Structure 1
Amino acid sequence: MNTFISKLKSRNAILYWFGLVCLIGGVVCTGLTVVTTRQVLGINEFIKPTKFFVSIWLFCWTMAWYTGLLSQRRKVLIYSWIVVSMMTLEMVIITGQAALGKLSHFNVSSPVDGILFGVMGIAITILTSWTGYIDYLFFKRKPLTEDESGYLWGIRLGMLLFVIFAFEGFLMATRLSHTVGAADGGAGLPVINWSTRYGDLRVAHFFGMHALQIIPLFGHYVTHRPRPVILVAVFYFLLVTFFLIQALAGKPVLANLVN
């Protein structure tokens, strides 16, 4: 573990340290769920910040690992500070609104809330667009060895799927909700709170964005050949698209799979 941390820090110290701060933030918010009782949409007000802190921690450490493979260090530096600034803005708003017992996403109930929601949209657009640019740099990069080919294609396609399904968030933003067929806040799965009765656009959003970790891991540990990685990425894309279509049809995809 110490070797991994040292290597991660050497690859991208900025994203390593910011990711660590987000991990600590997630732990703090987890503690706050124990000592607070106020709820937002039927769950403790600090559950959402906890999930976002943990998600950003994982994203930062993943991108810290990947960007260490790029030779364009100045562009990686710019990207790293964009991640830090945009995600700091995002988490200040999410945590601040939670502490006030308010929604952060889809909240246009007052001019101030609407502005904060709009700022979050701008921040995530900048971050996702720059992540797409980093992916472009990986498409330009040639594998250093034959064994690296599958892993490199995993990074390329995992990041591409991340960008595609991150932008799916705009579908939720235009609807001002993530539930299809009912209002947000109904019965949901533990912790993640995905609807068990209606369609939930967060399912495809979640699985699509975590292609960022899943596809490269397949390319690194399962096969070193590009073709299987590409086939898995295509299958993964179709599966997540199925989740999206089912959600738009008002069907609780994961609940159906479990049952």
Structure 2
Amino acid sequence: MVPVAVLCAVGLLVDDRVLGGARIWFKPFKFSVSFAAYCLSLAWMLSLLPRGRRAGWWAGTVVAVASFVEIVIIAGQALRGKRSHFNYETPLDEALYNVMGGTVIALWLATFAVAVLLLRARMADRASAWAVRCGVVQALAGAAVGFLMTEPAPGQQMGVSTVVGAHSVGVPDGGPSMPLTGWSTTGGDLRISHFIGMHALQLLPLLVLVLAALAPRFARLADERVRLRLVLLAAGVYAAVFVLLLWQALRGQSLIHPDGATLGVAGLILVAAALGTYGSLRVPAPPGGPGAPGDGDLDALAKLTR
């Protein structure tokens, strides 16, 4: 994926062709970078398995091969000046798109197998274990959004239209879009929830690393129970944001033009996150119930006795 990303970056510099409102090498560049992050994350997660490593190796190999085949087709279609997704223009284009569909299904099923292995695995650090589990499950949900994009958009008909499927909802693909991401600014865009869901695979485990790095400076984070609460809270908030973005896109609403309902739900999620963080950071009372002496009180008593 890294060499493909480099080649696509060169393509962006020297090839000014545009397809569907975007530079033609931008899509293979995005996919190669995303696949690299996805595969590295899964490889690290598989290294945590105490058992089932052989099954994990096969699942990881399927992910790697499926990703490789898909990026070759995407880059090859860019080289030809053709769409890689939703393309039924010629028998060759349709065959390549169908092969890509098969690779997506294989990748999803292999990731599902990894998720099952991780859910059954016992790991020493519970915060890390649940970050990994929640991350891979949410990545599966994010990947599944891609299947929604294959449905015919209004005006498209299977066997008649040369393009069947779309990223956008309520507006045609290729309209006004955000810089860098290419997400629609005039209608819904399923790629947003697709992106957010899939990258839970990196962001939730990254949260564990951040909490571990902050633990020496913040005593409460040294408590494993506090870190576990924060991870579970983050996973829940992340899932709520994912569902909100999917709901917003399905209603044909642009990310940057939310209506009152979207803002209201976003506000509720924010309040829940704030209250949950406050509750998670509260250190449980020491054994003996409220008013029982803690470590500091016991030290003071010892000094007074002496």
Q: What is the TM-score when the length of structure 2 is the normalising length?
A: 0.73
155-164 vs 104-113, which deviates more? 104-113
Partner Cα distance (2:238, 2:146) in 1: 18
- Which structure dedicates a bigger proportion of its chain to helix? 1
In the other structure, the counterpart of 2:263 is none
The alignment of Structure 1 onto Structure 2 pairs a total of residues equal to 233
Q: CA deviation at 1:110?
A: 2.1
Unaligned runs of 5+ in 2: 153-164, 212-220, 260-306
In the other structure, the counterpart of 2:86 is 106
Partner Cα distance (2:230, 2:5) in 1: 36
In the other structure, the counterpart of 1:229 is 231
Partner Cα distance (2:232, 2:10) in 1: 41
Q: Percent identity?
A: 36
In the other structure, the counterpart of 1:4 is none
Q: Which of 208, 211, 215 pairs up with 2:197?
A: 208
What do residues 187-240 of structure 1 show as CA deviations (whole Å, max 9, x unaligned)?
Answer: 111121001111101000000110111112223432644333222212111111
Does the Cα contact within 8 Å between 2:188 and 2:248 map onto a contact in 1? yes
The one-letter code of the counterpart of 2:2 is: L
Query: Radius of gyration: which is bigger?
Result: 2
**Could you list the runs of 4 or more consecutive aligned residues of structure 1 that deviate by over 6 angstroms after TM superposition?**
none
Give yes or no for the alignment of 1:251 onto 2:256: no
Unaligned runs of 5+ in 1: 1-21
Q: Which of 127, 133, 139 pairs up with 1:150?
A: 127
The one-letter code of the counterpart of 1:78 is: W
In the other structure, the counterpart of 1:160 is 137
Partner Cα distance (2:258, 2:251) in 1: 13
Q: What does 1:1-150 correspond to in 2, within 5 Å?
A: 22-71=1-50, 72-144=52-124, 148-150=125-127
SS at structure 2 position matched to 1:173 = coil
Superposition CA RMSD, Å: 1.6
What do residues 10-54 of structure 1 show as CA deviations (whole Å, max 9, x unaligned)?
Answer: xxxxxxxxxxxx112111101111111111112111110000010
Partner Cα distance (1:254, 1:91) in 2: 30
Partner Cα distance (1:169, 1:88) in 2: 18
Partner Cα distance (1:37, 1:110) in 2: 24
